[in-house]
A and B are shown apart, each in its own frame.
Chain A
Amino acid sequence: MSIVIKGGLVVDQAGERTADVVVDDGRIAAVGPDLSGEEVLDAAGCVVAPGFVDMHTHLRQPGAEEAETIETGGWAAVRGGFSAVVAMPNTNPPIDCAAVVQEVLALGAKAPCDVYTSGAITVERKGDRLAPMAEMAELGVHLFTDDGNGVQESGLMRRAMEYAAGLGVVLAQHCEVDSLAAGGHMHEGVWSSRLGIPGVPAEAEELMVMRDIALSRFTGAPIHFQHLSTGGSIAMVKAARQAGVAVTAEAATHHFTLTDEACASYDPVFKVNPPLRPAEDRDAVREGLADGAVDAIATDHAPHTPDAKEMPFDQAPPGMLGLETALALAITELKLPIADVVGLLSWRPAAIAGLGGEHGGPIVPDAPANLCVFDPEETWTVDPDNLASRSRNTPYAGRQVSGRVRHTIVGGRAVLVDQEMRP
Chain B
Amino acid sequence: MTLFPPKHLLSINDLGAEGIDEVCRLADHFTEVSQRPIPKVPALRGKTVAMMFYEDSTRTRLSFEMAARRLSADVMGFSVSSSSVNKGESVRDTVATISAMGPDAIVVRHRSAGVPHQTTAWTQASVINAGDGWHEHPTQALLDCYTIRERLGSVSGRRIVIVGDIKHSRVARSCVMAFTALGAKVTLVAPPTLLPPAAESWPVDVSSSLDAVLSDCDVVYGLRVQQERQSEALLPSLREYTAQWGLTVDRAARLPAGALVMHPGPVNRGVEIAPEVLDQPNATLNEQVRHGVAVRMAVLYLLLAAVPDLQPDEGVQ
Whether A193 contacts B118 by the Cβ 8 Å rule is: no
Contacting B114 at CB < 8 Å: which of A190, A197, A201?
Answer: A197
Per the 8 Å Cβ criterion, residues 90-146 of B in contact with A are: 90-92, 110, 112-115, 117-118, 132-136
Whole-angstrom distance between the alpha carbons of A115 and B182 in the complex?
60
* Residue of chain A at shortest CB distance from B135: A196
Interface residue B315 (Cβ < 8 Å from any Cβ of A): no
Residues on B with C-beta less than 8 A from A267 are 118
Residues on A with C-beta less than 8 A from B115 are 266, 312
Interface residue A310 (Cβ < 8 Å from any Cβ of B): yes
B270 to chain A, nearest CB (A): 28
A177 to chain B, nearest CB (A): 15
Whether B117 contacts A198 by the Cβ 8 Å rule is: no
Residues on A with C-beta less than 8 A from B197 are 188-189, 192-193, 199, 201
Whether A313 contacts B134 by the Cβ 8 Å rule is: no
Interface residue A178 (Cβ < 8 Å from any Cβ of B): no
Contacting B134 at CB < 8 Å: which of A189, A196, A312?
Answer: A196
B120 to chain A, nearest CB (A): 10
Whether B117 contacts A266 by the Cβ 8 Å rule is: yes
* Residue of chain A at shortest CB distance from B112: A312
Per the 8 Å Cβ criterion, residues 295-320 of A in contact with B are: 307, 310-315
Spell out A's residues near B (CB within 8 Å). Answer: 188-190, 192-199, 201, 265-267, 307, 310-315
Which among B113, B118, B134 has the greatest number of chain A C-beta atoms within 10 A? B113
Task: Given A196-B134, A307-B90, answer yes or no on A312-B114 (Cβ-Cβ < 8 Å).
Answer: yes
Residues on B with C-beta less than 8 A from A195 are 113-114, 135
What are 25 A-B pairs at a CB distance below 8 A? A188-B197, A190-B201, A193-B196, A193-B197, A193-B202, A194-B173, A194-B201, A195-B113, A195-B135, A196-B132, A196-B134, A196-B173, A197-B114, A197-B135, A265-B117, A266-B118, A267-B118, A307-B90, A310-B92, A311-B91, A312-B91, A312-B110, A312-B112, A313-B113, A314-B133
Whether B201 contacts A313 by the Cβ 8 Å rule is: no
Interface residue B199 (Cβ < 8 Å from any Cβ of A): yes
Whether A314 contacts B112 by the Cβ 8 Å rule is: yes
Residues on A with C-beta less than 8 A from B134 are 196-198
Interface residue B170 (Cβ < 8 Å from any Cβ of A): yes
Contacting B112 at CB < 8 Å: which of A189, A199, A265, A313?
Answer: A313
Whole-angstrom distance between the alpha carbons of A194 and B170 in the complex?
10
Interface residue B198 (Cβ < 8 Å from any Cβ of A): yes
* Residue of chain A at shortest CB distance from B202: A193
A44 to chain B, nearest CB (A): 44
Fill in one digit per residue for B66-95: 1 if any A CB lies within 8 Å of its CB, else 0. Answer: 000000000000000000000000111000
Fill in one digit per residue for B186-204: 1 if any A CB lies within 8 Å of its CB, else 0. Answer: 0000000000111101100
Residues on B with C-beta less than 8 A from A310 are 90, 92, 118
* Residue of chain B at shortest CB distance from A313: B114
